Amino acid sequence: MNKLITAIVTLCATVLICSPAFAQETDKAWDFSLTPFYFWGTAIDGTQTVKGQKTDLDVSFTDIFDNLEGILTFHFEGIHKQQIGFFVDFSWLKLGVDGSIDPGVMFDVDYTGIYAELGGFYRIRKGSNDFDFLGGIRYTDLDVDLELGSLPELQGGQNWVDPILGVRWTRHLNDKWNLSLRGDFGGFGVGSDFTWNTVGLVFYRPWKHVSIVGGYRAMYQDYEDGSGSELFQYDATMHGPMFGTTIYF
């Protein structure tokens, strides 16, 4: 039971795609891209400590998907004159698990996770290569409600903000195919003690204003708050394949 509850608390299996605009000459001052919905099929490996009780995490994508009740995601990005840009990302996830731990003792767990990113970047273009130098913040918010038998309902949550710095490299293979690699790190004790994030994506653009995106992402977070019996710690890596559709305008 403890492992199930702590696994639900840490299921911030939200999604993030940073969708760079393709290297096409344009007379527009601004170029924008929108990914109205994208999906990250995550698994979680690591440890979780709640109320001083440490539990190993081994949560598969199937566990998350089977208990998914709702999800809302989007990513929006703009760049001015192919040089200075910004990105905004938001995702909301709701999970629900119910069952019994002993005959006649029922439990009901509702988990809500919000994950958001806001930042800017400066682009340097070298031939068919774009190098974007990133900076911004990453926000994580986890909330859980637990009903266990006849006991009073329990509610709890954690939220934190991480400053991040990183680089994204985009290789324009031709007018239909792009390759993008991103890496960033942060935390610095402001929110989490340390966090890193890597994303590898392939873009196929069959139409002028639409591309299909697929790849893989891994993100590590080491967050700690409180001490003793009130200690909360999340030290885990989320990883898995991701895909979506991006619209350019």
- pLDDT tens digits along 169-219: 999 999 999 999 999 999 999 999 999 999 999 999 999 999 999 999 998
- pTM across the whole model: 0.80
- Taking 3-state DSSP, the helix, strand and coil percentages for the chain, each rounded to the nearest 5, stand at 5, 70, 25
Q: Scanning the structure block, which residue is given the tokens 């539990």?
A: 55
Tens-place pLDDT, residues 100-128: 555 665 556 677 778 899 999 999 999 99
Domain boundaries in the chain?
A: 2-248
pLDDT, average across residues 66-93: 90
Q: What would you measure as the largest C-alpha separation in the chain, in angstroms?
A: 69
3 state DSSP class of 231: coil
Q: Which of 16-20, 88-92, 126-130, 216-220 is least confident?
A: 16-20
Tell me the two tokens of residue 38: 């994208």
Tens-place pLDDT, residues 125-169: 999 999 999 999 999 887 766 665 555 555 567 899 999 999 999
CATH of 2-248, one of 1.10.10.10, 2.40.10.10, 2.40.128.90, 2.60.40.2380: 2.40.128.90
